[in-house]
Structure 1
Protein backbone atom coordinates (compact mmCIF):
# COMPACT_ATOMS: atom_id res chain seq x y z
CA UNK A 1 0.00 0.00 0.00
CA UNK A 2 1.24 3.45 -0.89
CA UNK A 3 1.45 5.75 2.11
CA UNK A 4 1.90 9.52 2.36
CA UNK A 5 5.66 9.27 2.59
CA UNK A 6 6.85 11.27 -0.40
CA UNK A 7 6.83 15.02 -0.09
CA UNK A 8 8.28 18.24 -1.36
CA UNK A 9 8.14 21.87 -0.34
CA UNK A 10 8.06 23.75 -3.67
CA UNK A 11 7.74 27.24 -2.19
CA UNK A 12 7.48 28.87 1.23
CA UNK A 13 4.23 28.07 2.97
CA UNK A 14 3.53 24.86 1.04
CA UNK A 15 4.10 21.33 2.26
CA UNK A 16 3.02 18.77 -0.34
CA UNK A 17 2.65 15.04 0.23
CA UNK A 18 1.34 12.27 -2.04
CA UNK A 19 -0.46 9.06 -1.13
CA UNK A 20 -3.65 7.08 -1.55
CA UNK A 21 -6.84 8.42 -0.03
CA UNK A 22 -7.50 6.50 3.17
CA UNK A 23 -11.07 7.53 4.04
CA UNK A 24 -14.35 8.61 2.39
CA UNK A 25 -13.72 12.23 3.39
CA UNK A 26 -10.51 12.38 1.36
CA UNK A 27 -12.18 10.73 -1.63
CA UNK A 28 -15.04 13.23 -1.47
CA UNK A 29 -12.59 16.13 -1.36
CA UNK A 30 -10.81 14.74 -4.44
CA UNK A 31 -14.16 14.43 -6.23
CA UNK A 32 -14.96 18.05 -5.37
CA UNK A 33 -11.62 19.12 -6.83
CA UNK A 34 -12.44 17.17 -9.99
CA UNK A 35 -15.78 18.95 -10.23
CA UNK A 36 -14.16 22.37 -9.93
CA UNK A 37 -11.67 21.56 -12.68
CA UNK A 38 -13.81 19.55 -15.08
CA UNK A 39 -17.24 21.00 -14.42
CA UNK A 40 -16.57 24.64 -13.62
CA UNK A 41 -13.34 25.30 -15.55
CA UNK A 42 -13.86 23.04 -18.55
CA UNK A 43 -17.66 23.02 -18.71
CA UNK A 44 -17.92 19.23 -18.81
CA UNK A 45 -21.27 17.50 -18.42
CA UNK A 46 -20.60 15.31 -15.40
CA UNK A 47 -22.67 12.24 -14.51
CA UNK A 48 -22.89 12.82 -10.75
CA UNK A 49 -26.20 13.87 -9.25
CA UNK A 50 -24.52 15.35 -6.18
CA UNK A 51 -24.00 19.11 -6.63
CA UNK A 52 -20.33 20.10 -6.74
CA UNK A 53 -19.07 16.50 -6.85
CA UNK A 54 -17.69 14.53 -9.82
CA UNK A 55 -18.60 10.90 -9.15
CA UNK A 56 -19.46 7.94 -11.37
CA UNK A 57 -19.86 4.18 -10.99
CA UNK A 58 -16.10 3.55 -11.27
CA UNK A 59 -15.18 5.67 -8.26
CA UNK A 60 -16.20 3.07 -5.68
CA UNK A 61 -13.85 0.53 -7.29
CA UNK A 62 -10.83 2.82 -7.68
CA UNK A 63 -7.89 3.83 -5.57
CA UNK A 64 -7.63 7.61 -5.37
CA UNK A 65 -4.15 9.07 -5.48
CA UNK A 66 -4.04 12.51 -3.88
CA UNK A 67 -1.57 15.29 -3.26
CA UNK A 68 -2.32 17.29 -0.13
CA UNK A 69 -0.91 20.62 0.94
CA UNK A 70 -0.56 19.82 4.62
CA UNK A 71 -0.10 23.47 5.57
CA UNK A 72 -3.29 24.56 3.80
CA UNK A 73 -5.19 21.41 4.80
CA UNK A 74 -6.50 20.79 1.27
CA UNK A 75 -6.17 18.31 -1.57
CA UNK A 76 -4.59 20.01 -4.58
CA UNK A 77 -4.13 17.16 -7.06
CA UNK A 78 -5.59 13.75 -7.79
CA UNK A 79 -5.49 10.71 -10.06
CA UNK A 80 -8.00 7.87 -10.17
CA UNK A 81 -6.46 4.38 -10.40
CA UNK A 82 -8.33 1.23 -11.46
CA UNK A 83 -6.46 -1.99 -10.73
CA UNK A 84 -6.88 -5.19 -12.81
CA UNK A 85 -8.87 -6.88 -10.03
CA UNK A 86 -11.16 -3.86 -9.64
CA UNK A 87 -11.68 -3.66 -13.41
CA UNK A 88 -12.87 -7.27 -13.33
CA UNK A 89 -15.17 -6.46 -10.43
CA UNK A 90 -16.78 -3.41 -12.05
CA UNK A 91 -16.93 -5.22 -15.41
CA UNK A 92 -14.68 -3.01 -17.58
CA UNK A 93 -12.08 -0.32 -17.71
CA UNK A 94 -13.39 3.22 -18.06
CA UNK A 95 -11.47 3.49 -21.35
CA UNK A 96 -13.69 0.78 -22.82
CA UNK A 97 -16.50 3.32 -22.98
CA UNK A 98 -14.40 5.14 -25.60
CA UNK A 99 -12.18 2.46 -27.15
CA UNK A 100 -12.21 -1.18 -28.22
CA UNK A 101 -9.45 -2.78 -26.12
CA UNK A 102 -9.66 -6.26 -27.66
CA UNK A 103 -5.98 -6.31 -28.63
CA UNK A 104 -4.98 -5.67 -25.00
CA UNK A 105 -6.94 -8.64 -23.68
CA UNK A 106 -3.79 -10.62 -22.86
CA UNK A 107 -2.47 -7.71 -20.73
CA UNK A 108 -5.50 -7.25 -18.50
CA UNK A 109 -4.18 -9.23 -15.53
CA UNK A 110 -1.26 -6.78 -15.18
CA UNK A 111 -2.81 -3.59 -16.58
CA UNK A 112 -3.70 -0.54 -14.48
CA UNK A 113 -5.89 2.28 -15.74
CA UNK A 114 -5.44 5.91 -14.72
CA UNK A 115 -7.80 8.81 -15.28
CA UNK A 116 -9.53 11.91 -13.92
CA UNK A 117 -6.18 13.63 -13.49
CA UNK A 118 -6.52 17.20 -12.27
CA UNK A 119 -4.65 19.84 -10.28
CA UNK A 120 -5.96 22.85 -8.38
CA UNK A 121 -5.53 26.05 -10.42
CA UNK A 122 -3.29 27.57 -7.74
CA UNK A 123 -0.82 24.65 -7.85
CA UNK A 124 0.00 24.12 -11.52
CA UNK A 125 3.71 24.88 -11.30
CA UNK A 126 4.97 21.32 -11.82
CA UNK A 127 5.50 20.15 -8.25
CA UNK A 128 2.08 18.49 -7.94
CA UNK A 129 2.25 16.56 -11.22
CA UNK A 130 5.75 15.42 -10.26
CA UNK A 131 4.40 13.99 -7.01
CA UNK A 132 1.44 12.36 -8.77
CA UNK A 133 3.82 10.67 -11.21
CA UNK A 134 5.99 9.52 -8.33
CA UNK A 135 2.92 8.09 -6.60
CA UNK A 136 1.80 6.28 -9.74
CA UNK A 137 5.25 4.82 -10.31
CA UNK A 138 5.46 3.56 -6.74
CA UNK A 139 1.94 2.09 -7.00
CA UNK A 140 2.97 0.13 -10.12
CA UNK A 141 6.22 -1.04 -8.54
CA UNK A 142 4.78 -2.11 -5.19
CA UNK A 143 1.97 -4.09 -6.85
CA UNK A 144 4.09 -5.60 -9.65
CA UNK A 145 1.93 -4.22 -12.46
CA UNK A 146 3.49 -4.00 -15.91
CA UNK A 147 1.13 -1.86 -18.02
CA UNK A 148 -0.51 1.53 -17.59
CA UNK A 149 -3.35 2.75 -19.82
CA UNK A 150 -5.45 5.87 -19.93
CA UNK A 151 -7.07 8.54 -22.08
CA UNK A 152 -5.10 11.77 -22.56
CA UNK A 153 -7.47 14.63 -23.32
CA UNK A 154 -7.08 17.50 -25.77
CA UNK A 155 -9.47 20.45 -25.70
CA UNK A 156 -11.89 20.78 -28.61
CA UNK A 157 -12.64 24.43 -27.97
CA UNK A 158 -11.58 25.14 -31.57
CA UNK A 159 -13.78 22.40 -32.99
CA UNK A 160 -11.08 19.73 -32.97
CA UNK A 161 -8.54 21.16 -35.42
CA UNK A 162 -5.77 21.39 -32.82
CA UNK A 163 -6.42 17.81 -31.67
CA UNK A 164 -6.34 16.48 -35.23
CA UNK A 165 -3.14 18.41 -35.97
CA UNK A 166 -1.50 17.19 -32.78
CA UNK A 167 -2.32 13.55 -33.53
CA UNK A 168 -1.06 13.94 -37.08
CA UNK A 169 2.25 15.32 -35.76
CA UNK A 170 2.76 12.78 -32.96
CA UNK A 171 1.67 9.56 -34.63
CA UNK A 172 4.78 9.01 -36.76
CA UNK A 173 7.11 8.97 -33.77
CA UNK A 174 4.91 7.74 -30.93
CA UNK A 175 2.34 5.32 -32.41
CA UNK A 176 2.36 1.88 -30.81
CA UNK A 177 2.98 -1.42 -32.63
CA UNK A 178 -0.12 -2.87 -34.29
CA UNK A 179 -0.62 -5.52 -31.62
CA UNK A 180 -1.42 -2.84 -29.02
CA UNK A 181 -3.77 -0.75 -31.14
CA UNK A 182 -7.01 0.58 -29.60
CA UNK A 183 -9.95 1.64 -31.77
CA UNK A 184 -12.22 4.61 -30.95
CA UNK A 185 -15.94 3.93 -30.68
CA UNK A 186 -16.72 7.54 -31.67
CA UNK A 187 -13.72 8.58 -33.77
CA UNK A 188 -12.69 12.17 -34.14
CA UNK A 189 -13.46 12.95 -37.84
CA UNK A 190 -9.84 13.58 -38.78
CA UNK A 191 -10.46 13.97 -42.51
CA UNK A 192 -12.94 16.78 -41.88
CA UNK A 193 -10.49 18.72 -39.72
CA UNK A 194 -7.30 20.65 -40.34
CA UNK A 195 -4.21 18.63 -39.53
CA UNK A 196 -1.50 21.20 -40.25
CA UNK A 197 -1.77 23.54 -37.27
CA UNK A 198 1.20 24.14 -34.98
CA UNK A 199 -0.67 22.83 -31.94
CA UNK A 200 1.03 22.77 -28.55
CA UNK A 201 1.32 19.40 -26.83
CA UNK A 202 -0.56 19.50 -23.49
CA UNK A 203 1.84 19.09 -20.53
CA UNK A 204 0.30 15.79 -19.41
CA UNK A 205 0.64 14.22 -22.87
CA UNK A 206 4.18 15.58 -23.13
CA UNK A 207 4.98 13.91 -19.82
CA UNK A 208 3.55 10.56 -20.93
CA UNK A 209 5.55 10.59 -24.16
CA UNK A 210 8.78 11.61 -22.45
CA UNK A 211 8.32 8.71 -20.04
CA UNK A 212 8.13 6.31 -22.99
CA UNK A 213 4.37 5.90 -23.49
CA UNK A 214 2.82 5.05 -26.84
CA UNK A 215 -0.21 6.57 -28.51
CA UNK A 216 -2.35 3.54 -29.35
CA UNK A 217 -4.52 4.81 -32.18
CA UNK A 218 -6.70 7.63 -33.43
CA UNK A 219 -8.41 9.94 -30.92
CA UNK A 220 -11.97 9.45 -29.75
CA UNK A 221 -14.43 12.28 -29.29
CA UNK A 222 -15.83 12.62 -25.78
CA UNK A 223 -18.91 14.86 -26.12
CA UNK A 224 -19.50 15.14 -22.35
CA UNK A 225 -16.07 16.67 -21.75
CA UNK A 226 -15.82 18.19 -25.27
CA UNK A 227 -12.36 16.70 -25.66
CA UNK A 228 -10.49 14.51 -28.09
CA UNK A 229 -9.01 11.62 -26.14
CA UNK A 230 -5.80 9.88 -27.16
CA UNK A 231 -5.41 6.27 -25.99
CA UNK A 232 -2.13 5.92 -24.08
CA UNK A 233 -0.19 2.79 -23.10
CA UNK A 234 2.99 2.75 -21.02
CA UNK A 235 4.96 -0.45 -20.52
CA UNK A 236 6.93 -0.31 -17.29
CA UNK A 237 9.73 -2.12 -19.13
CA UNK A 238 9.88 0.81 -21.59
CA UNK A 239 9.90 3.52 -18.93
CA UNK A 240 12.62 6.01 -19.78
CA UNK A 241 15.65 5.45 -17.55
CA UNK A 242 15.65 9.04 -16.30
CA UNK A 243 11.99 8.72 -15.28
CA UNK A 244 12.55 5.35 -13.65
CA UNK A 245 15.38 6.73 -11.54
CA UNK A 246 13.56 9.96 -10.67
CA UNK A 247 10.11 8.55 -9.89
CA UNK A 248 10.66 4.96 -8.77
CA UNK A 249 13.95 5.07 -6.93
CA UNK A 250 14.25 2.14 -4.54
CA UNK A 251 11.32 -0.02 -3.55
CA UNK A 252 12.25 -0.03 0.14
Structure 2
Protein backbone atom coordinates (compact mmCIF):
# COMPACT_ATOMS: atom_id res chain seq x y z
CA UNK A 1 0.00 0.00 0.00
CA UNK A 2 3.03 2.28 0.24
CA UNK A 3 3.40 4.88 -2.48
CA UNK A 4 -0.29 5.82 -2.68
CA UNK A 5 -0.80 9.53 -2.13
CA UNK A 6 -3.07 12.31 -3.31
CA UNK A 7 -2.73 15.95 -2.35
CA UNK A 8 -2.18 16.09 1.39
CA UNK A 9 -2.89 12.41 2.08
CA UNK A 10 -1.12 9.05 2.16
CA UNK A 11 -2.46 5.53 2.62
CA UNK A 12 -0.93 2.60 4.46
CA UNK A 13 -1.86 -0.65 6.17
CA UNK A 14 -2.09 -0.74 9.96
CA UNK A 15 1.16 -2.21 11.25
CA UNK A 16 0.64 -2.35 15.01
CA UNK A 17 -1.94 -2.67 17.74
CA UNK A 18 -1.71 1.10 18.20
CA UNK A 19 -2.64 1.61 14.53
CA UNK A 20 -5.70 -0.61 14.90
CA UNK A 21 -6.73 1.21 18.08
CA UNK A 22 -6.45 4.53 16.23
CA UNK A 23 -8.83 3.17 13.59
CA UNK A 24 -11.21 1.92 16.28
CA UNK A 25 -11.15 5.34 17.93
CA UNK A 26 -12.00 7.04 14.64
CA UNK A 27 -14.84 4.57 14.16
CA UNK A 28 -16.15 5.50 17.60
CA UNK A 29 -16.03 9.16 16.65
CA UNK A 30 -17.77 8.60 13.30
CA UNK A 31 -20.28 5.89 14.17
CA UNK A 32 -21.09 6.44 17.82
CA UNK A 33 -20.48 10.06 18.78
CA UNK A 34 -21.81 11.42 15.49
CA UNK A 35 -24.99 9.34 15.54
CA UNK A 36 -25.74 8.72 19.19
CA UNK A 37 -25.64 4.95 18.66
CA UNK A 38 -24.98 2.50 21.47
CA UNK A 39 -23.18 -0.36 19.73
CA UNK A 40 -22.38 -3.52 21.63
CA UNK A 41 -18.71 -3.26 20.66
CA UNK A 42 -18.26 0.17 22.26
CA UNK A 43 -15.88 0.30 25.19
CA UNK A 44 -15.54 2.82 27.98
CA UNK A 45 -12.26 4.08 26.50
CA UNK A 46 -13.93 5.40 23.32
CA UNK A 47 -13.17 2.40 21.09
CA UNK A 48 -15.58 0.78 18.62
CA UNK A 49 -14.38 -2.80 18.16
CA UNK A 50 -15.64 -6.28 17.37
CA UNK A 51 -14.35 -9.83 16.88
CA UNK A 52 -13.81 -9.29 13.13
CA UNK A 53 -11.04 -6.74 13.67
CA UNK A 54 -8.45 -9.42 14.37
CA UNK A 55 -9.11 -11.21 11.07
CA UNK A 56 -9.09 -8.06 8.92
CA UNK A 57 -6.50 -5.91 7.19
CA UNK A 58 -6.95 -2.31 8.34
CA UNK A 59 -6.33 0.55 5.91
CA UNK A 60 -5.46 4.03 7.17
CA UNK A 61 -5.64 7.35 5.30
CA UNK A 62 -3.51 9.98 7.02
CA UNK A 63 -2.45 13.57 6.53
CA UNK A 64 1.09 13.34 5.20
CA UNK A 65 2.43 16.29 7.18
CA UNK A 66 0.86 15.63 10.58
CA UNK A 67 0.14 11.89 10.56
CA UNK A 68 -3.46 12.62 11.59
CA UNK A 69 -5.83 9.77 10.78
CA UNK A 70 -8.71 11.05 8.61
CA UNK A 71 -10.22 7.87 7.18
CA UNK A 72 -10.09 4.14 7.74
CA UNK A 73 -11.68 0.89 6.63
CA UNK A 74 -11.02 -2.81 7.01
CA UNK A 75 -10.78 -5.64 4.51
CA UNK A 76 -11.61 -9.31 5.02
CA UNK A 77 -10.22 -11.47 2.21
CA UNK A 78 -12.02 -14.70 1.29
CA UNK A 79 -10.58 -17.32 -1.05
CA UNK A 80 -14.00 -17.73 -2.68
CA UNK A 81 -17.69 -17.88 -1.86
CA UNK A 82 -17.21 -21.07 0.11
CA UNK A 83 -15.94 -18.84 2.93
CA UNK A 84 -18.82 -16.35 2.77
CA UNK A 85 -20.11 -17.28 6.22
CA UNK A 86 -16.88 -15.93 7.73
CA UNK A 87 -17.96 -12.42 6.75
CA UNK A 88 -19.43 -9.72 8.94
CA UNK A 89 -22.41 -9.40 6.58
CA UNK A 90 -23.31 -13.07 7.07
CA UNK A 91 -24.50 -12.17 10.60
CA UNK A 92 -27.35 -10.21 9.03
CA UNK A 93 -27.96 -11.74 5.59
CA UNK A 94 -28.42 -15.31 4.41
CA UNK A 95 -25.73 -15.46 1.72
CA UNK A 96 -25.94 -18.99 0.34
CA UNK A 97 -26.41 -17.54 -3.15
CA UNK A 98 -22.81 -16.35 -3.07
CA UNK A 99 -21.37 -19.61 -1.75
CA UNK A 100 -20.65 -20.90 -5.27
CA UNK A 101 -18.72 -17.80 -6.33
CA UNK A 102 -15.43 -19.33 -7.48
CA UNK A 103 -12.92 -16.47 -7.21
CA UNK A 104 -11.36 -14.30 -4.48
CA UNK A 105 -13.71 -11.91 -2.65
CA UNK A 106 -13.12 -9.03 -0.26
CA UNK A 107 -15.53 -7.61 2.29
CA UNK A 108 -14.98 -3.91 2.96
CA UNK A 109 -16.30 -2.77 6.31
CA UNK A 110 -16.31 0.02 8.86
CA UNK A 111 -15.52 2.64 6.20
CA UNK A 112 -15.51 6.05 7.84
CA UNK A 113 -14.15 9.56 7.42
CA UNK A 114 -13.48 11.89 10.33
CA UNK A 115 -16.72 13.93 10.65
CA UNK A 116 -14.63 17.11 10.80
CA UNK A 117 -13.06 16.41 7.39
CA UNK A 118 -14.87 17.25 4.15
CA UNK A 119 -12.08 17.09 1.56
CA UNK A 120 -13.25 15.00 -1.44
CA UNK A 121 -9.68 13.82 -1.92
CA UNK A 122 -10.09 11.61 1.16
CA UNK A 123 -12.67 9.17 -0.27
CA UNK A 124 -10.93 9.35 -3.67
CA UNK A 125 -7.62 8.14 -2.29
CA UNK A 126 -9.40 5.53 -0.17
CA UNK A 127 -11.06 4.05 -3.26
CA UNK A 128 -7.77 4.24 -5.15
CA UNK A 129 -6.09 2.25 -2.38
CA UNK A 130 -8.90 -0.30 -2.50
CA UNK A 131 -8.41 -0.55 -6.27
CA UNK A 132 -4.72 -1.31 -5.74
CA UNK A 133 -5.60 -4.03 -3.21
CA UNK A 134 -8.15 -5.57 -5.57
CA UNK A 135 -5.67 -5.58 -8.46
CA UNK A 136 -2.80 -6.96 -6.38
CA UNK A 137 -4.88 -9.81 -4.96
CA UNK A 138 -6.91 -10.83 -8.01
CA UNK A 139 -10.18 -9.98 -6.27
CA UNK A 140 -13.29 -10.57 -8.36
CA UNK A 141 -16.07 -9.58 -5.95
CA UNK A 142 -16.19 -6.69 -3.49
CA UNK A 143 -19.01 -6.59 -0.96
CA UNK A 144 -20.13 -5.09 2.33
CA UNK A 145 -22.96 -3.30 4.13
CA UNK A 146 -23.87 0.26 3.10
CA UNK A 147 -25.53 2.23 5.87
CA UNK A 148 -28.21 4.93 6.02
CA UNK A 149 -28.14 7.07 9.18
CA UNK A 150 -30.97 6.35 11.59
CA UNK A 151 -33.49 3.54 11.66
CA UNK A 152 -36.58 5.33 10.32
CA UNK A 153 -37.31 4.49 6.70
CA UNK A 154 -39.61 7.36 5.74
CA UNK A 155 -36.84 9.85 4.90
CA UNK A 156 -35.26 7.35 2.50
CA UNK A 157 -38.33 6.14 0.62
CA UNK A 158 -37.18 7.66 -2.68
CA UNK A 159 -33.67 6.26 -2.27
CA UNK A 160 -35.03 2.78 -1.58
CA UNK A 161 -37.46 3.09 -4.49
CA UNK A 162 -34.55 3.94 -6.78
CA UNK A 163 -32.59 0.96 -5.48
CA UNK A 164 -35.57 -1.27 -6.23
CA UNK A 165 -36.03 0.17 -9.71
CA UNK A 166 -32.40 0.13 -10.89
CA UNK A 167 -29.98 -1.61 -8.57
CA UNK A 168 -31.25 -4.93 -7.20
CA UNK A 169 -28.71 -7.72 -7.35
CA UNK A 170 -28.76 -10.74 -9.67
CA UNK A 171 -31.25 -13.35 -8.50
CA UNK A 172 -28.54 -16.00 -8.18
CA UNK A 173 -26.62 -13.85 -5.68
CA UNK A 174 -29.46 -12.01 -3.93
CA UNK A 175 -29.25 -12.33 -0.13
CA UNK A 176 -32.21 -13.80 1.73
CA UNK A 177 -33.65 -12.43 4.96
CA UNK A 178 -31.85 -13.49 8.15
CA UNK A 179 -32.01 -10.55 10.56
CA UNK A 180 -35.10 -10.30 12.81
CA UNK A 181 -35.88 -6.68 11.90
CA UNK A 182 -35.80 -5.72 8.22
CA UNK A 183 -37.45 -3.32 5.78
CA UNK A 184 -38.48 -5.26 2.65
CA UNK A 185 -38.42 -2.26 0.35
CA UNK A 186 -38.55 -4.26 -2.89
CA UNK A 187 -41.83 -5.82 -1.74
CA UNK A 188 -43.41 -2.87 0.00
CA UNK A 189 -42.65 0.18 -2.11
CA UNK A 190 -45.02 1.03 -4.96
CA UNK A 191 -43.81 4.47 -5.99
CA UNK A 192 -41.86 6.19 -8.72
CA UNK A 193 -38.71 7.58 -7.13
CA UNK A 194 -37.95 11.27 -7.21
CA UNK A 195 -34.41 11.12 -8.57
CA UNK A 196 -33.22 14.28 -6.81
CA UNK A 197 -34.51 13.23 -3.40
CA UNK A 198 -33.23 9.71 -3.96
CA UNK A 199 -29.70 10.93 -4.60
CA UNK A 200 -29.84 13.29 -1.62
CA UNK A 201 -30.79 10.41 0.64
CA UNK A 202 -28.22 7.95 -0.72
CA UNK A 203 -25.17 7.39 1.54
CA UNK A 204 -21.88 8.48 -0.13
CA UNK A 205 -20.36 5.00 0.13
CA UNK A 206 -23.38 3.44 -1.56
CA UNK A 207 -23.33 6.09 -4.32
CA UNK A 208 -19.72 5.12 -5.02
CA UNK A 209 -20.63 1.43 -5.27
CA UNK A 210 -23.53 2.17 -7.61
CA UNK A 211 -21.43 4.39 -9.90
CA UNK A 212 -19.14 1.41 -10.39
CA UNK A 213 -21.97 -0.97 -11.23
CA UNK A 214 -22.72 -2.25 -7.73
CA UNK A 215 -25.97 -3.89 -6.67
CA UNK A 216 -27.94 -4.24 -3.42
CA UNK A 217 -30.13 -6.65 -1.49
CA UNK A 218 -33.91 -6.40 -1.77
CA UNK A 219 -34.25 -5.52 1.92
CA UNK A 220 -32.55 -3.32 4.49
CA UNK A 221 -31.53 -4.49 7.95
CA UNK A 222 -32.55 -2.29 10.89
CA UNK A 223 -29.43 -2.12 13.09
CA UNK A 224 -30.36 -0.37 16.31
CA UNK A 225 -26.90 -0.93 17.85
CA UNK A 226 -25.28 1.33 15.26
CA UNK A 227 -28.45 3.38 14.65
CA UNK A 228 -28.48 2.58 10.94
CA UNK A 229 -30.39 0.91 8.16
CA UNK A 230 -28.06 -1.04 5.93
CA UNK A 231 -28.28 -2.90 2.65
CA UNK A 232 -25.99 -5.65 1.46
CA UNK A 233 -23.92 -4.28 -1.40
CA UNK A 234 -22.04 -6.29 -4.00
CA UNK A 235 -19.75 -5.29 -6.84
CA UNK A 236 -18.50 -7.60 -9.57
CA UNK A 237 -15.08 -6.15 -10.33
CA UNK A 238 -15.44 -7.12 -14.00
CA UNK A 239 -18.55 -4.92 -14.25
CA UNK A 240 -16.79 -1.68 -13.27
CA UNK A 241 -16.93 0.70 -16.28
CA UNK A 242 -13.50 0.97 -17.96
CA UNK A 243 -13.44 4.78 -17.65
CA UNK A 244 -13.96 4.59 -13.90
CA UNK A 245 -11.24 1.95 -13.56
CA UNK A 246 -8.85 4.25 -15.39
CA UNK A 247 -9.70 7.15 -13.06
CA UNK A 248 -9.08 5.06 -9.94
CA UNK A 249 -5.85 3.58 -11.24
CA UNK A 250 -4.61 7.02 -12.24
CA UNK A 251 -4.61 8.01 -8.56
CA UNK A 252 -2.51 5.02 -7.50
CA UNK A 253 -0.10 5.49 -10.42
**TM bin (shorter chain):** 0.7 to 0.9
Query: What RMSD in Å do the two structures reach over aligned CA positions?
Result: 2.7
Once structures 1 and 2 are overlaid, which stretch shifts more, 161-170 or 224-233?
Answer: 161-170
Q: Is the 8 A contact 1:141 1:248 kept in 2?
A: no
Deviation at 1:183, TM superposition (A): 2.1
Q: CA 1:55 to 1:87, structure 2 compared with 1: closer, same or farther past 3 Å? A: farther
Written as runs of structure 1 = structure 2, the 5 A alignment for 1:74-89 is: 74-84=68-78
TM-score (norm 2): 0.87
Q: Give the number of aligned pairs.
A: 244
> 1: CA distance between counterparts of 2:149 and 2:16?
32
Hey, what does 2:95 align to over in structure 1? 101
* Counterparts of 1:80 and 1:42, CA distance in 2: 20
Residue matched to 2:54: 60
Of the candidates 109, 113, 118, which is equivalent to residue 107 of structure 2? 113
Pick aligned residue for 1:130 from 124, 139, 152 = 124
> Counterpart in 1 of 2:35?
42
Tell me, in whole angstroms, the C-alpha distance in 2 between the residues paired with 1:123 and 1:245.
26
Within-5 A mapping of 1:152-167: 152-156=146-150, 159-167=152-160
Moved more, 182-191 or 17-26: 182-191
CA shift for structure 1 position 6 = 1.1
Going from structure 1 to structure 2, the CA distance change for 1:194 and 1:250 (only over 3 Å counts) comes to closer
User: Aligned equivalents of 2:66 and 2:49: distance in 1?
Assistant: 24
Residue pair 2:150, 2:228 contacting (<8 A) in 1 also: yes
- Provide the rounded CA distance (Å) in 1 between the counterparts of 2:190 and 2:167: 20
Q: Which moved more, 1:216-225 or 1:33-42?
A: 216-225
What's the TM-score, normalizing by structure 1?
0.87
Match of 2:13 among 7, 15, 20: 20
Indicate the larger mover: 188-197 or 171-180: 188-197
Cα deviation for residue 184 of structure 1 reads 3.2
CA distance in 2, matches of 1:89, 1:147: 13
Structure with more contact order per residue of length (Cα contacts < 8 Å, sep ≥ 6)? 2
Residue aligning to 2:183: 188
CA contact (8 A) 2:128 2:249 kept: yes
Secondary structure, counterpart of 2:49 in structure 1: coil
Gaps of 5+ in 1: 10-14
Alignment check: 8 A CA contact 2:182 2:220 kept: yes
